[in-house]
Structure 1
Amino acid sequence: MKHHLLSLLLLAATPVMAQLRGNVEYNLWAPQKGDTLMIFAEKAYIRQTPSAKGTILDSLTTGNTVIAAKLNETELTMKGISAPWWQVKYKAGGKQKEGYVWLGLMSLGKYTKDTVQFIYGIDKVIPGAFKEAEPRYVVQLKALNTKHNVIDKKELAVDGGQYAISSEAKLLGHLGLDKVNTIVRLYFSGEACGIPNNYYYFAWTGNKLVPLPEKTTMFDAGAVSHDEVLLFPKEPGGQAGKIIRVTTDEEFGEDGETVVNKKTKREIYNWDGEKVVKQ
């Protein structure tokens, strides 16, 4: 990541802190009534009341789903993650039931390619090194088969707090990479001027997830911009067996529009069907 190069350029904006105490209605999950939520944790207890001490009604595992019924503003912090409880509807033992589940156990998103389901979520939050520092989110991406067994998973740490107010994922197809079924892209954004947008890529080979080069973009209006573009083989300018990252940094003059300094860098990564190696 390039945050050590960008940190001095960030604005002092302070958006709502996702996953931090006191922001029950604002979090990366952002479910609405009627949404289908998928269990991300290995086990999630459905409780009679919105409390970690509430009577356990059922135990659901990774890949099971529930329907969001009503937000409860009771908040729980576990493994550094602060999130509310939701009253949910679900099926167990062939019966329709209701109960409460802690939102921190749910996936941030689910995506399907053929018979494989990809889900990602926050495993834990690491506090900042000092009081004013933003936390880090330890995020896991899991590939599940039709029986909800984990085929493979990968873990990464992303900047949290104001750097991760929203998130989404997307399946991009193979984009010309040999022996790749699809590429999974995770995205985390602060959605504010001067805050980076971070993209993380994983190749799915049919039995494992392989980390690919990442990219970051940032625009501070009238001051600087940092833009990284990844070119895959199938895209214009791409090359067979390679992933090309083009980085452009620009500084703007006093009028906020004229580019007074521009630097471009090009990096090439070779793909052999199993891994990437920087050239």
Structure 2
Amino acid sequence: MKRFLLSLLLLAATPAAAQLSGNVEYNLWRVQQGDTITIFSDKAYIRQSPSPQAPVMDSLVAGNTVIAAKLTETELTLRGMTTPWWQVRYKAGGKQKEGYLWLGLAALGQYKKDSVQLMYGIEKVIPGATKEDDPKYVVVMKALGASRHLLDKKELIVTGGQFAISAEGKLLGNMGLDKLTAILRLCFSGEACGIPTDYYYYGWTGTKFLPLPQKSNMFDAGAISHDEVLLFPKEPGGQAGKIIKVTKDEEFGEDGEKVVKTTTNREVFIWDGNSAKAVKK
């Protein structure tokens, strides 16, 4: 597992010039004034001004929270992603303080399950091989115990750029799968016809993440549609000990409305409490 490199030395690196309006990554956090921001990096420095060279006021760890006070027009490009600095309010040493946090150190989403804090964020952005190629997002999920110690983390690669303009997470129940206490579902989507919406599912046992089958949906107006549905044991049509994926593809006629061809497919995954294995046809 790659280490999550967020140190003072990295933050002291010279940022590349960029314009706020031209960076997709900025939109993924969707932070508004007054929102609670959860620290995602192993260590995050709060600085006296929005600059990686500014003096450090405090050092926060993953799971700590701050309040978004004011968005600045200053950006920093680090690990391939460009995000702004926020003026934030927080409590340290029993005192209320204000400082500046680079948004790239924050979680995209965080959820509480019993005494465990589950969160996900972007570790880095890998640029495309050419200017026409979309970048890749290295997304990491973390589980922190009551004392904010790391219980587990998992990494996945997501196609970025126009394919992941928005990100959303949701904590589900175990959906009838044995030995799971919850399921974390991550969603990354674009905002144009023909761009898929991808869903990533990870089961949570209470101590570790377990990968589950994924699904993807896509609609190209007047041309084709692709729809994947996962049926878990507790859902209508679900079966005990199984995850069923139903895929439906449709093609539209020249009028762009009438469906002229429909294809369906059904995949079955057997859940053994540790992994979901596809049944061979």
TM-score by length of 2: 0.90
Q: Which residue of 2 aligns with 1:241?
A: 241
Does 1:127 pair with 2:127?
yes
Offset at residue 23 of structure 1 (A): 3.0
Match of 2:142 in 1: 142
Number of the residue aligned with 1:99: 99
Cα displacement (A) at 1:22: 2.2
Match of 2:5 in 1: none
Q: Which residue number in structure 2 is paired with residue 199 of structure 1?
A: 199
Partner Cα distance (1:172, 1:89) in 2:
31
1:203-233 residue CA offsets vs partner (Å, 9 max, x unmatched) = 0011110010000000011110010000101
- The answer for the alignment partner of 1:179 in structure 2 is 179
Give the paired residue count. 260
Q: Amino acid of the residue matched to residue 86 of structure 1? A: W
Following superposition, the deviation at residue 130 of structure 1 comes to 1.3
Indicate the residue corresponding to 2:82 in structure 1: 82
Partner SS for 2:174? coil
Give the structure 1 partner of residue 19 of structure 2: 22
Q: What's the C-alpha RMSD, in Å, of the aligned pairs?
A: 1.3
Offset from partner CA, 1:65-89 (integer Å, 9 cap, x none) = 1100000111111110110000001
**Alpha-carbon distance between aligned partners in 2 of 1:131 and 1:165, rounded to the nearest angstrom:** 17
Q: Which residue of 2 aligns with 1:162?
A: 162
TM-fit CA distance, 1:51: 0.6
SS at match of 2:104: helix
TM-superposition CA deviations, 1:82-133 (whole Å, max 9, x none): 1000000111111111110100000001111111111100000011121111
* Alpha-carbon distance between aligned partners in 2 of 1:69 and 1:175, rounded to the nearest angstrom: 38
Do the aligned partners of 2:20 and 2:75 also contact (CA within 8 Å) in 1? no
Give me the whole-angstrom Cα distance separating, in 1, the residues matched to 2:169 and 2:112: 11
Distance 1:197 1:52 in 2: 35
In 2, the alpha carbon distance for the partners of 1:257 and 1:266 equals 25
- How far residue 176 of structure 1 moved from its aligned partner, in angstroms, is 0.6
Query: Cα deviation per residue 1:192-212 (whole Å; 9 max; x = unaligned)?
Result: 222111100000011110010
Q: TM-score, normalised by structure 1?
A: 0.91
- Aligned residue identity for 2:231: L
Residue aligned with 2:162, SS: helix
Aligned equivalents of 2:52 and 2:41: distance in 1? 15
Question: Per-residue deviation at 1:191?
Answer: 2.4
Moved over 6 A (4+): none
> Could you list the runs of 5+ residues in structure 1 that have no partner in the other structure?
1-19
What secondary structure does 1:52 align onto?
Answer: coil
CA distance in 1, matches of 2:237, 2:30: 37
C-alpha separation in 1, matches of 2:215 and 2:18: 30
Unmatched runs of 5 consecutive residues or more in structure 2? 1-16
Q: Which residue of 2 aligns with 1:3?
A: none
In the alignment, which residue of structure 2 is the partner of 1:272? 272
SS at match of 1:168: strand
SS in 1 for 2:218: strand
State the AA in 2 paired with 1:65: T
Q: Which amino acid aligns with 1:48?
A: Q
Deviations 1:123-170 (A, max 9, x none): 000111211111010001111111111111111011111111111111
Per the TM alignment, residue 21 of structure 1 is displaced from its structure 2 partner at its CA by 4.2
Question: Which residue in 2 is equivalent to 1:60?
Answer: 60
- The amino acid across from 1:110 in the alignment is Q
Q: Percent identity?
A: 65
Residue 33 of structure 1, CA deviation: 0.7
**Secondary structure, aligned partner of 1:129:** coil
